């Protein structure tokens, strides 16, 4: 199997010239440097840089009369004079007149002339040519380079239109060892890898499958939350199978001109078929693969044409076209049903957020090239990062290394990673964000309110850190950590979560009799949670188990977006949302009144030290008779 599709001639292949241009690197600096080089060369060759002394013709004539001159070499109008005493000097004569005539004119007698050895040399062909024409050629060259440079500039802007049909796919060559990704680089995702092994097998030895009459899947769609490794896994499939990988993102299809999306698709498939076996990977396919015809106020024709073209190309695969189309999306719910019907993207591979063990594996992969200190405990980091995606973990490792480097350490320590967790989760600390005494107090009571409610309510996650140092958008933060990894959440948990979110609001109200803008994001969180409970998860007894919206929050019924559901249902939903919020408020109030001592103790401590870690925090709780939740998270290091 060779990999020569790029060398084959394609009548439409206008992109080739373009490639060459870019290879030239196109720097004006280069052109100027070249010009200067040529000029220097010219100067050297024409000899104006030579150190040989010059004599005038009249001096030369006198020397000849005196018999001091041994030889004169004539080369065009250049004279090289060698004296009896060994000196060598240069001179010039008139261009048209012969030397003998010139000397004669200066009064040199024929006898003296006869004693001197005069050699006439032809200017060498090349030298003659070069010396006479190089000034012209150099200036021409310079002008040409200048125009070429200008035209490139223009191409950059307006002339793009000439190449707009060309597929913009990036190709990864299977022989490129540096960029090769294999399944080893992808941690976790066991089921997904298992599923994709089949594809790898097929790409490696298609004959085995074709001989037995098996129909090979044409399309595989990878779905999962952002950062779960969809793109990475698609690369790994190509790397494992050792086939070229054509990579293009959905939004790149749809650019600027109408009709271009479809022609890009054609180009892409043509290229891939020439390189077969190969993988075409359309990343973020939801950009083009959304349900057709559903658009409100006229669909997007361009997008639909592109999508149609993809479907046509996939239908047009011959049984032995060894091209597999992979696609990735984090919105499988919006995809056009025609895309996922059998014969097209009929294989679905789902990537979940990594669980604790997988997170540790991912951390290990990204720790490989980083020098780690002895105290590093990746298990603990994995425990503290529920809900992190692969991409989050990658950036956690990176932030940890950056922190270590900024403090001029050669190794990454555990506390670098711990700090990195919070940085990835909440954004950078804003230590410079100075609070007035009053603001500090308000923030402390606010966070203490959240924390106490979370610690007292049975279904909320235990608190492991409270801080009033601003981070990202938050004025302060309370971090909770579930006792156990979980995939499902229950109504009771949501109810306690809402109360905990409102804890800050209630605390401000209770202590200061006033509310600030601080809880605004808390209110957003609790309201949308309450609304989702009612409309998505059937958790309101009044509405019952009816899903009024889909997982994207769009109304389930009807295309008409204005009218979500009937007036009566709408009113009921609003009433239910307020009831849930009100219940949450009351719960929070009850908790904070009952445990007011613990609540104020935490707030005072926060004003004093600004950040409370789990241990100190729990000490205060137990001192006030609040029972800790059963399982200790931080100390469980066993798998
Ligand atoms: P997606 O396409 O799903 O949004 P990516 O594949 O682009 O996510 O992942 C982003 C980065 O996160 C990858 O380049 C990789 O460094 C890291 N990553 C994600 N998932 C994993 C995993 N399972 N194993 C190792 N690294 C991962
Ligand atoms: Mg991606
Ligand atoms: Zn808050």
**Pocket residues for ligand 1 (CB within 6 Å)?**
186-189, 224, 226-232, 328, 362, 365, 390-391, 394
Q: Flag whether 383 is in a domain.
A: yes
Q: Are residues 534 and 447 in the same domain?
A: yes
Backbone angles phi, psi at 109, to 5 degrees: -70, 150
Residue 215, classified by CB atoms within 10 Å of its CB into exposed (0-12), middle (13-18) or buried (19+), is exposed
Instruction: Give the SS3 label for residue 68.
Output: coil
Indicate if 619 and 520 belong to the same structural domain.
yes
With a CB cutoff of 8 Å and minimum separation 6, the contacts of 274 are 5, 8
Higher pLDDT, 321 or 597: 597
Q: Do 420 and 450 reside in the same domain of the chain?
A: no
Mean pLDDT of the chain: 80
184: DSSP letter: G
CATH, residue 469: 1.20.58.760
Please tell me whether residues 490 and 525 are part of one structural domain: yes
**Same domain (yes/no): 378, 343:** no
Distances (CA, A) of 208 to 40, 215, 237, 630: 66, 11, 19, 56
- Pocket test of ligand 1: the residue of 191, 236, 281, 394 to mutate, having most ligand atoms within 8 Å of its CB, is 394
Residues 31-73 have pLDDT tens digits of 677 777 877 776 666 655 456 778 888 888 888 888 888 888 8
Distances from the Cα of 476 to the Cα of 502, 510, 520, angstroms: 15, 19, 13
User: Ligand 1 pocket: which of 231, 232, 283, 359 to mutate (most atoms <8 Å of CB)?
Assistant: 232
User: Which CATH number belongs to the domain containing residue 392 in this structure?
Assistant: 1.10.8.60
pLDDT at 16 over 70: no
Q: Is 447 marked active-site?
A: yes
Count of C-beta atoms within a 10 Å radius of residue 346: 14
Give me the pLDDT at residue 479, please.
Answer: 85
Say how far apart CA 340 and CA 346 lie, in whole Å. 5
What number of other Cβ atoms are within 10 A of residue 542's Cβ? 10
| 20 within some domain | no
Per-residue pLDDT at 453: 94
Burial (0-12, 13-18, 19+ Cβ within 10 Å), 511: buried
Q: What is the pLDDT of residues 419-428, one digit of tens each?
A: 899 888 888 7
CB 246 within 8 A of CB 280: yes
Q: Considering the domain boundaries, does residue 136 fall inside one?
A: no
CA of 358 to the centre of ligand 2 (A): 19
Ligand 1 atom with the shortest distance to the CA of 189 = 23
- pLDDT at site 88: 83
Distance 330 CA to ligand 3 centre (A): 29
For residue 451, the CA-to-ligand 3 centroid distance in Å is 10
| Least trusted range by pLDDT, from 113-122, 357-366, 583-592 | 113-122
107: domain CATH number is: 3.30.720.210
330/361 same-domain check: no
Identify which of 182, 391, 393, 396 to mutate to test ligand 1's pocket (most ligand atoms within 8 A of the CB).
391
pLDDT at 2 over 50: no
Q: Is residue 144 part of a domain?
A: no
CA distance 549 to 346: 26
* Distance of CA 278 from the midpoint of ligand 1 (Å): 22
Q: Are residues 288 and 398 in the same domain?
A: no
Confidence of residue 178 (pLDDT cuts 50, 70, 90): confident
Q: What is the pLDDT of residues 441-478, one digit of tens each?
A: 999 999 999 999 999 998 888 898 899 988 877 788 88
Band of residue 154 on the pLDDT scale cut at 50, 70, 90: low
Find the domain containing 276 and state its range.
170-293+300-351
The reply to whether 370 falls in a domain is yes
Of 405, 426, 447, which one is at a domain's C-terminal end? 426
Alpha carbon distance 593, 300 (integer Å): 56
User: In this structure, are 404 and 323 located in the same domain?
Assistant: no
The CATH number assigned to the domain holding 305 equals: 3.40.50.300
Domain count along the chain: 4
Average pLDDT over residues 556-584: 77
Choose, from 240, 313, 447, 589, the residue flagged as catalytic. Answer: 447
Confidence of residue 22 (pLDDT cuts 50, 70, 90): very low
Q: Are residues 539 and 612 in the same domain?
A: yes
pLDDT at residue 412, rounded to an integer: 92
Question: Is 50 inside any structural domain?
Answer: no
Residue 478 lies in a domain: yes
Is the residue at 37 inside a domain?
Answer: no
Same domain, 385 and 402: yes
- B/e letters for 237-261, b = 16+ CB within 10 Å, e = fewer, are bbbbbbbbbbbbbbebbbeeeeebb
What is the whole-number distance in angstroms between the Cα of residue 229 and the centre of ligand 2?
7
Nearest-atom number in ligand 1 for the CA of 391 is 12
User: Quick one: 273 and 397 in the same domain?
Assistant: no
């Amino acid at each position: 199997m060779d990999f020569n599709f790029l060398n084959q001639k394609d009548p439409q292949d206008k992109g080739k010239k373009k490639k060459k241009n870019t290879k030239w690197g196109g720097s004006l600096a280069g052109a100027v440097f070249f010009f200067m080089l040529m000029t220097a060369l010219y100067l050297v060759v024409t000899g104006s840089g030579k150190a040989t002394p010059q004599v005038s013709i009249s001096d030369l004539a006198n020397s000849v009369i005196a018999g001091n001159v041994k030889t004169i070499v004539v080369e065009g109008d250049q004279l090289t004079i060698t004296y009896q005493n060994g000196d060598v000097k240069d001179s010039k004569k008139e261009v048209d007149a012969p030397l003998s005539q010139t000397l004669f004119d200066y009064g040199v007698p024929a006898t003296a002339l006869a004693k001197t050895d005069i050699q006439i040399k032809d200017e060498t062909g090349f030298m003659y040519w070069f010396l006479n024409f190089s000034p012209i050629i150099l200036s021409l060259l310079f002008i040409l380079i200048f125009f070429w440079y200008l035209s490139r500039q223009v191409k950059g802007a307006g002339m793009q239109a000439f190449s707009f049909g060309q597929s913009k796919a990036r190709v990864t060559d299977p022989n490129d060892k540096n960029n090769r990704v294999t399944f080893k680089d992808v941690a976790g995702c066991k089921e997904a890898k298992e599923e994709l092994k089949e594809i790898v097998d097929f790409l490696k030895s298609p004959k085995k499958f074709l001989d037995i009459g098996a129909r090979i899947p044409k399309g595989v769609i990878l779905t999962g939350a952002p950062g779960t490794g969809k793109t990475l896994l698609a690369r790994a499939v190509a790397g494992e199978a050792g086939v070229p990988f054509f990579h293009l993102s959905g939004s790149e299809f749809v650019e600027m001109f109408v009709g271009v999306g479809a022609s890009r698709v054609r180009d892409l498939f043509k290229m891939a078929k020439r390189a077969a076996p190969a993988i075409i990977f359309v990343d973020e396919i939801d950009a083009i693969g959304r349900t057709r015809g559903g658009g409100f106020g006229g669909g997007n024709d361009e997008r639909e044409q592109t999508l149609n073209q993809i479907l046509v190309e996939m239908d047009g695969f011959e049984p032995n076209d060894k091209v597999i189309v992979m696609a990735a999306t984090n919105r499988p719910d919006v995809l056009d049903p025609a895309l996922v019907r059998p014969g097209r993207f009929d294989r679905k591979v789902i990537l979940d957020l990594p669980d604790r063990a997988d997170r540790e594996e991912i951390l290990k992969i990204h720790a490989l090239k980083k020098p780690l200190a002895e105290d590093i405990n990746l298990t603990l980091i994995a425990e503290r990062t529920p809900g992190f995606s692969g991409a989050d973990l990658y950036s956690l490792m990176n932030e940890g290394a950056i922190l270590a480097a900024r403090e001029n350490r050669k190794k990454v320590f555990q506390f670098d990673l711990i700090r990195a967790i919070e940085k990835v989760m909440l954004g950078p600390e804003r230590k410079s964000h100075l609070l007035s005494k009053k603001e500090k107090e308000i923030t402390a009571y606010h966070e203490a309110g959240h924390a106490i409610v979370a610690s007292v309510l049975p279904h909320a996650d235990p608190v492991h850190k409270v801080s009033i140092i601003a981070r990202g958008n938050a004025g302060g933060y309370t971090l909770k950590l579930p006792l156990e990894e979980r995939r499902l959440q229950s109504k009771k948990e949501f109810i306690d979560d809402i109360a905990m979110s409102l804890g800050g609001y209630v605390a401000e109200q209770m202590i200061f009799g006033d509310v600030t803008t601080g809880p605004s994001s808390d209110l957003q969180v609790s309201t949308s949670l309450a609304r989702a409970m009612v409309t998505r998860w059937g958790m309101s007894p009044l509405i019952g188990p009816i899903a009024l919206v889909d997982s994207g929050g769009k109304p389930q019924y009807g295309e008409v977006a204005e009218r979500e559901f009937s007036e009566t249902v709408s009113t009921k939903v609003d009433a239910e949302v307020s009831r849930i919020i009100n219940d949450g408020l009351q719960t929070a109030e009850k908790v904070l009144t009952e445990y007011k001592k613990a609540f104020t103790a935490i707030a005072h401590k926060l004003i004093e030290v600004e950040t409370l870690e789990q241990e100190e925090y729990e000490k205060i709780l137990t001192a006030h008779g609040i029972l800790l939740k059963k399982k200790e998270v931080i100390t469980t290091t066993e798998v």
